[in-house]
Amino acid sequence: MAKKNKGVLGAMGNLIRWTIWGLAGVFAIAVYLNWTKPAQSPGADEIAVLPPADIAVSGVPDEEEAATVDTGAGETEPEPEPETGTIRIPGDAATYSLLNAFRRDDGSIEITTERVLGDVSETTIRLVRCAPLEVGVIAEGDGPRNDAPELVRIPLGDAAATLAAMACGAMK
């Protein structure tokens, strides 16, 4: 009959044995659930444009403040509701709309936005890289198209940064 280890050596042997069995179990579960690569679902590279009610932007005034406009004569009247699909950025009087977004083969995102200030509407196509957040202008209005613009980091308070961050979040 073989002699069984007792004491410290026996306890260490049992600890090592159970650790190996536990790691083997975790590995088997990981292989079974396919944790080795991220799951790709069909259509994962397309973006869903969310209505403004679903977009949380910090610094937006309370609804009571935003719903009224001071006419200057001490009277207030309700402010017209923005159109569906428009985005308001604090500190910017213009409204923005995300018209189109798609992921390129190199992983960057191409977005088409429309900026409306009063009666003036301007369309801009931007190239966005999410990590780190960098943006380059492909085309403005009817101008020439540059498919490989120089990407620059922009401050987070900028309207382009907000639109780019929203596109990056929606494309993940």
The β-bridge partners of 137 are 126
In the chain, pLDDT over 90 holds for what percent of residues? Answer: 16
Q: Where are the beta strands (DSSP E) in 27-169?
A: 68-70, 76-78, 86-88, 95-103, 109-117, 120-129, 134-140, 152-153
103 shares its domain with 163: yes
In the numeric block, which tokens belong to residue 137?
Answer: 């202008």
Helix (H) or strand (E) holding 27: helix 8-33
16 shares its domain with 86: no
Domain encompassing residue 87? 52-171
Residue 43 belongs to some domain of the structure: no
- Bigger pLDDT: 14 vs 5: 14
- Bigger pLDDT: 61 vs 23: 23
How many domains does the chain contain in total?
Answer: 2
Question: For residue 139, what are the contacts with CB-CB under 8 A and spacing of at least 6?
Answer: 124, 125, 145, 146
- Measured at the alpha carbon of residue 76, what is the angle toward residues 57 and 60, in degrees to the nearest 5? 5
Confidence (pTM): 0.51
Q: Which phi and psi (to 5°) does residue 150 adopt?
A: -75, 125
95 shares its domain with 28: no
Q: Write out pLDDT tens, residues 48-89.
A: 554 444 444 444 444 444 444 555 555 555 544 445 567 888
